[in-house]
Amino acid sequence: MKAIVIGSGLGGLLSAAKLSGSGYEVEVFERLPITGGRFTNIDIKGYQLSTGALHMIPHGPKGPLAQLLREVNADVTIEREDGMAFMRIFEDIGNNIYEDVPFAKFGKVFSLWNRIKLAFLMFTTRKNPPKDRSFAEWLSRHLDAPLAYQMADAFCGWALSLKAEDVPAEEVFEIFENLYRYGGPGVPIGGCKAVTDALADVVRNNGGTIHTEKEVTEIITEDGKATGVIIDGKQHPADLVISNIGHHYTNDLCKGVETDPEYQKYLDRVKAIKPSAGAKICLAASEPLIGHGGVLFTPSARRVNGINEVTNIDPKLAPQGKHLVMAHQTTKWDRIPYLDDEIDLGIKDLEEIFAGKDYEIILTQSHYNGWPVNRSSSGSDIGNTTPIAGLYVVGDGAKGKGGIEVEGIALGVKNTMNLILE
Ligand code: FAD
């Protein structure tokens, strides 16, 4: 049996590694000269920046991605510093007076009455998660504390690149459940590239092939089944096609299927998917700016949602003695035309948060449309199957429920492999 994978991002490589280890002949086609998609490193002045991710795996060494990497024998080490997530609450931003509140004890900033309500809500919602409303709507019904909305926006902005008003409450509670189950984030030693390179090695060691600078221009379908792809005008037959480019772009590659009523229903669901947008500001520092390898959430900031300093876990991600600090901020869809202004506001935030510290901005990046933070914003994923038999979608355009970013990719790949291999 032959499988073709379109795209060598994390989801494509995870699928290729699993299928090539399960007896499939696998070929991966990537349009860029490099593999890894939005999960690989870019070296700038000796700092390991990235094409997308902030070198963080949301549930560290115990989460779904780590489990899948072990399952396919990818040689990756993921380390985490337990308990290292804080909310920086400013009392007086001008005079730089703040408290770093541990994420697990965020309730302590609220009044006694709100703390009691919160404890009750956390207990009851684990059994009966709320449905049919956004996380922000759910909060506004239960808590009368403006800081709670800022904290919710900081968490959703950092983890999902969305405002709390744009995420279904149900999805957020699934995410909390996974945080209880698997714990907080970790950093792969060597950064994102270490993960995608290790997977590419697995694919090649299993006899698979990865082609770069090969763009798939069409998915061939016959009688409602995917039978191969076209690259440079040449047909490449296959029994299975796995697309790593989201439902929207996958659909653009399928010709002559739109008249099928089932396909029309699918297209309506595809049209409702919105990618999540965001911006990243990368800092080079001569001293630690946050001093740990976890996350510093910044609910008081105008735009920045959170910051990490991965060199506290892997010092080799920066030149010797230096630190790599990355700040992430979500961009609301209506602000995409004003990205420069959004990034300027993020830079102002950092000037206040790190007042008096010695750092330099080495790169700012914005991510939207075809190179977004997530191809399908969390809560709007529509699953891994398509109406075309033998055509599956993996990656962050088809995440599993409650899966933050690459954990969602791993859950989606697991789901797809269960459908194909069992
Ligand atoms: P992609 O990376 O989208 O790869 C798809 C590949 O397909 C690309 O290489 C593309 O070139 C190729 N391709 C496209 N069209 C074709 C075609 N027609 N033919 C052949 N090839 C094609 N996640 C985390 O877990 N932790 C984080 O810290 C984190 N931070 C992030 C910060 C930012 C700023 C961004 C942008 C993302 C972040 N993410 C994070 C999300 C994470 O980076 C992505 O979810 C993940 O890398 C996406 O992987 P994917 O499998 O969907 O594939």
pLDDT tens figures, 280-333:
999 999 999 999 999 999 999 999 999 999 999 999 999 999 999 999 999 999
Determine whether the shortest distance from the Cβ of 374 to ligand 1 is under 6 A: yes
d(CA 89, CA 53): 25
Question: Beta-carbon neighbour count of residue 190 at 10 Å?
Answer: 18
Q: Whose CA is nearest to atom 25 of ligand 1?
A: 406
HEC-encoded secondary structure of 36-76:
CCCCCEEEECCEEEECCCCCCECCHHHCHHHHHHHHCCCCC
Residue 78 identity (one-letter amino acid):
I
Q: What is the DSSP letter of 360?
A: E
Q: How far is the CA of 315 from the centre of ligand 1 (A)?
A: 24
Distance of CA 103 to the CA centre of its chain: 20
d(CA 201, CA 386): 29
Per-residue pLDDT at 246: 98
Determine whether the shortest distance from the Cβ of 31 to ligand 1 is under 6 A: yes
For residue 177, give both structure tokens: 């459940």
Beta bridge partners of 88: 100
Distance of CA 265 to the CA centre of its chain: 27
Beta bridge partners of 367: 278
> Residues 115-159: pLDDT tens digits?
888 888 888 887 788 888 999 999 988 888 888 999 999 999 999
Whether residue 258 has pLDDT greater than 80: no
Determine whether the shortest distance from the Cβ of 52 to ligand 1 is under 6 A: yes
Determine whether the shortest distance from the Cβ of 199 to ligand 1 is under 6 A: no
Q: How far is the CA of 52 from the centre of ligand 1 (A)?
A: 7
Determine whether the shortest distance from the Cβ of 306 to ligand 1 is under 6 A: no
Q: What is the DSSP letter of 286?
A: S
Q: Which of 178, 406, 407, 414 to mutate to test the pocket of ligand 1 (most atoms within 8 A of CB)?
A: 406
Domains of the chain: residue spans and CATH: 2-79+190-273+373-421 (3.50.50.60), 110-182 (3.90.660.50), 275-367 (3.90.660.50)
Per-residue pLDDT at 269: 95
Q: Are 9 and 395 in contact (CB under 8 A)?
A: yes
Q: Whose CA is nearest to atom 5 of ligand 1?
A: 9
Q: Whose CA is nearest to atom 42 of ligand 1?
A: 53
Q: What is the DSSP letter of 96?
A: T
Determine whether the shortest distance from the Cβ of 278 to ligand 1 is under 6 A: yes
Confirm whether the ipTM is greater than 0.95. Answer: yes
Quick one: what percent of the chain has pLDDT higher than 70?
A: 100
**Mean of all residue pLDDT scores within the chain:** 95
Determine whether the shortest distance from the Cβ of 170 to ligand 1 is under 6 A: no
Q: Whose CA is nearest to atom 30 of ligand 1?
A: 53
